[in-house]
Amino acid sequence: MNSFEYLEVSVRLAPFSEEGAEVLMAELAELPFDSFVTEEPFLKAYIQTSEYRPSDVKVVLSGYDFVADFKAVPVQGQNWNKAWEDSFEPIVVDGIVTVKAKFNVDVPQTRYNIWIDPQMAFGTGYHHTTYMMMQRMLALGAARPSGSASRSSGLRGLSVVDMGCGTAILAILAAKMGARKVFAVDIDAVAARSAWGNCRWNKVGSRVETACGDASLLQMGTYDVLLANIHRNIILEDLPTYFRSLKRGGHLLLSGFYEADIPSITAAALALGLSPAGSSSREGWACLEFKK
């Protein structure tokens, strides 16, 4: 990799806040940025030089009055990776699930242990939303009624989609919980490659199919559980496709948006005929569950 293959775009927030940085991450993720690091008062975003369009970044940032300025500088790939690795912390969910990278140490073993290799640091998702999605997956498995085909605990025997999979954390957890087949999809080729490698590293590659593409790929089948930890606008646009892709009685778990977005997403889901099945929030972020 040559030193100028990537750019570091530093966005200065005034005043700085974690919430403001996360809002900008969600917005900039719509452009081809690969990863983000927060170093107060900056949000640093990384993108391939060939993909960088200053005018696009300016349009996104102009909508926020807490953005003071931004600048782009070339960086070496190894420095970029190291910066992200230093910022990554393991995720431990209710003492049941642990998500960790190879450089994390002194992390306790839990029932489900997920290892990821960030490589080019493509996003592991916002920790709050990833955490809530995993919580609801665990609760969904625990709530499955006895005396049915779903007698076993977890998601055993079910078909699951991880839409916007990123590094495939949720797909890997679904497989480890016993899902019969998991389809992990991301529109970004870097993410799809990362997902493929992480699934094999976690020894679930035979049950997780990874693909690069958008929600149109879901039309190839129907599924018992659909997971989408994505930006609000994408969820609203793709919700009809999610609905068509769910089996009757299937569950849709959504996150990647704020509590303020709950009414609009709920209204869209109800209009399609989905029934609310639960909700949770964490540090202003929200997670919704619906049933078909």
pLDDT in tens, 214-244: 999 998 889 999 999 988 888 999 999 999 9
**Distance between CA atoms of 1 and 180, rounded to whole angstroms?**
39
Q: What is the pLDDT of residue 243?
A: 97
22 pLDDT above the threshold of 60: yes
Looking at the chain, the domain(s) classified CATH 3.30.70.1510 span 6-85
Q: How far apart are CA 198 and CA 204, in angstroms?
A: 9
Region 43-60: mean pLDDT is 91
- Separation between Cα atoms, residue 100 and residue 9, nearest integer Å: 27
| pLDDT for res 66 | 95
Task: Report CA torsion sign: 9, 86, 232, 18.
Answer: negative
Q: Give start-end residues of each CATH 3.40.50.150 domain in the chain.
A: 88-291
Mean pLDDT of 128-132: 90
Distance CA 182, CA 171 (A): 6
CATH superfamily, with its number, for domain 88-291: Vaccinia Virus protein VP39 (3.40.50.150)
- For 50-54, 106-110, 222-226, which range has the lowest pLDDT when averaged over its residues? 106-110
Greater model confidence, 236 or 102:
236
Residue 147 is predicted with a pLDDT of 43
Superfamily of domain 6-85: THUMP domain-like (3.30.70.1510)
Give me the pLDDT at residue 235, please.
Answer: 94
Residue 226 is predicted with a pLDDT of: 98
Q: DSSP state, 154?
A: T
**Cβ(278)–Cβ(289) below 8 Å:** yes
Please, what's the b/e burial string for 102-112 (b: 16 or more CB within 10 A of its CB; e: otherwise)?
eeeeeeeeeeb
Higher pLDDT, 71 or 19: 71
Q: What percent of the chain has pLDDT above 70?
A: 86
The per-residue pLDDT for 3 is 44
Local confidence band at 1 (pLDDT 50, 70, 90 cut-offs)? very low
* Confidence band for 101, pLDDT divided at 50, 70 and 90: confident
Structural tokens at position 40: 């107060």
Rounded distance between C-alpha atoms, residue 252 and residue 269, angstroms: 10
Residue 132 Ramachandran class (φ > 0 left, ψ -120 to 50 alpha, else beta): alpha
Mean pLDDT, the chain, integer: 86
pLDDT class for 36, splitting at 50, 70, 90? Answer: confident
User: What's the pLDDT at 247?
Assistant: 96
Better pLDDT: 243 or 32: 243
SS3 at position 56: helix
Examine the pLDDT at 122 and tell me if it is beyond 70: no
List pLDDT tens digits, range 74-99: 876 555 455 555 666 788 899 999 99
Q: What is the pLDDT of residues 141-189, one digit of tens each?
A: 676 554 444 434 569 999 999 999 988 999 999 999 999 999 999 988 8
Question: For tokens 């625990």, what's the residue?
Answer: 142
| CB contact burial 120-138 (16+ within 10 A = b; e otherwise) | bbbbbbbbbbbbbbbbbbb
